[in-house]
Each structure stands twice: as C-alpha cells, then as structure tokens.
C-alpha cells in the first residue's frame, strides 16, 4: 500500500527545518547506502549524528506521534531517527530496494524495515524532476508532494528518484518497523479502521455496528501484531 499523508508538518515546521538545514554540513549520500544502492545513489545528506539532523528529526518524530492517519496506516512499533537528503544539479537515486534490516550507527538498535517514508521539505515548484517512483503490483507510481506532505510505502518496493534538473529538492527519509509485518494485513486493518471512523462520525462510536467492527479490528490486530 502506498499512501500520501497531507500536512504531516505545518508550513512553520517546514520553514524551521529549512532554516536548520541551511547551516548544516552536507555529506555524500552514499554514507547510509547499502552495497548495491551505493552504486546508483547520487545525492547529499546531513550527517546523521549532527545536531542539526537530530533537531530536525525531533520535529518530524513529534509530528508523527500526533498524526492519527500515520498511526492508523503504519501501526508503528519502532522508527529509525529521520535522515535528510538533498538533490540538485542532476543528482538522482537509481532503482534499488531498501535494506531489510537497518541500524542506528554506534548503537545496538536494529529494526526490520517494513515501511519507507519520504517527507518533502521543498515545494514542487522549487525544482524540476525529483519524482519518487515506486514500483508496485499496479505499476509504477510517481510521487512529488507539497512541502510538509509525506508518502509511506512498503520498503520491499523497488523505487528510484528521478534526476533533479533545476533547483533543489530537500526531504526527510526514514524507515519503520510495524507491529504488523504483512503489508496486506496492514492494508486491511487500515481500511477497517477508516470504515469504523466513518460509521462513528455518522452514527456515533457507541452504535452497535461500530462496537462489533471495533471488536473485529482489535481481534485481528491481536492475531497479527508482533508487539
């Protein structure tokens, strides 16, 4: 399931992150690439242990913790500290798949990458190219979102970033481990949760059908969750 989440960061939070990034040191993006990905990765990124990356990462994590759509869709168990990249001057990232296991450098922390996320920090009109293209069961989907919006997609997907031929594309990217490993099961739970919320808005959360559906949701979550 590929899902676009609007307004994860407010325009003020985007501006704050852009101010922080303007004073930061950018390094070769291959620093966090796997062996195969490094062959096709041509971009820059903030040093992951830098104070700027940590400050911006805290902004992103706080916003995610308050975003009910993200929580419903991802059912997050562990989230890697967000990273930040920059594309300009023809830079791109060729077709690749993300590593199945990621670690935080210098720590014993590990997680299984069930989902990948890209949170856009540049407005679409600020640059040409730079579309994130994700290959799925129904073909390739191109994503280029307003600043503050985020796309969430299975980390098992082949994907690439097209060359940025004008301007600069800045984004946050990160991975998470979900409580529900299987993407199909997560999608069913997300659809069921949305149906319950729609019913609750129309009939109230205490409506007998809403109560039964809520019970089904939690029993499925209990069956499928790793937490």
Does the annotation place 193 within a ligand binding site?
Answer: no
Instruction: Extract the runs of DSSP E, i.e. beta strands, from the chain.
Output: 3-5, 26-28, 41-42, 44-46, 76-79, 83-88, 92-96, 101-103, 110-112, 115-120, 127-129, 132-136, 139-143, 150-154, 159-161, 164-178
Residue 18: CB atoms within 10 A of its CB come to 14
| Token code pair at residue 138 | 């129904």
Place of tokens 């040093």: 47
218 is in an annotated binding site: no
The 3-state DSSP class for residue 195 equals helix
**Chain centroid, CA 39 distance in Å:** 23
Q: DSSP for 14-79?
A: HHHHHHHHHTSPEEEGGGG--TTGGGTEE-EEE-TTSHHHHHHHHHHHHHHHT-HHHHHHH-EEEE
The binding site consists of 96, 98, 159, 169
The binding site for 2-oxoglutarate consists of 169
The binding site for Fe cation consists of 96, 98, 159
């Amino acid at each position: 399931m590929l899902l676009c989440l609007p307004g994860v960061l407010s325009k003020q939070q985007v501006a704050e992150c852009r101010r922080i990034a303007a004073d930061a040191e950018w390094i070769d993006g291959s620093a966090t690439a796997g062996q195969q990905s490094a062959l096709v990765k041509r971009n820059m990124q903030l040093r992951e242990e830098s104070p700027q990356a940590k400050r911006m990462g805290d902004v992103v994590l706080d916003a995610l913790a308050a975003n009910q759509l993200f929580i419903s869709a991802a059912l997050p168990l562990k989230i890697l500290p967000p990273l930040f990249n920059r594309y300009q001057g023809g830079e791109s990232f060729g077709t690749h798949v993300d590593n199945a296991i990621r670690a935080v450098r210098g720590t014993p922390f590990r997680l299984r990458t069930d989902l990948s996320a890209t949170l856009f920090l540049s407005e679409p009109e600020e640059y040409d190219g730079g579309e994130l293209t994700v290959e799925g069961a129904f073909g390739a989907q191109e994503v280029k979102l307003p600043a503050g919006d985020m796309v969430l997609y299975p980390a098992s997907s082949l994907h690439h970033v097209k060359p940025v031929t004008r301007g600069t594309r800045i984004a946050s990217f990160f991975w998470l481990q979900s409580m529900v490993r299987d993407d199909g099961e997560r999608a069913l739970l997300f659809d069921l949760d949305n149906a319950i919320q729609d019913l609750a808005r129309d009939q109230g959360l205490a409506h007998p059908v809403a109560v039964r559906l809520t019970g089904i949701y939690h029993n499925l979550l209990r069956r499928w969750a790793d937490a």
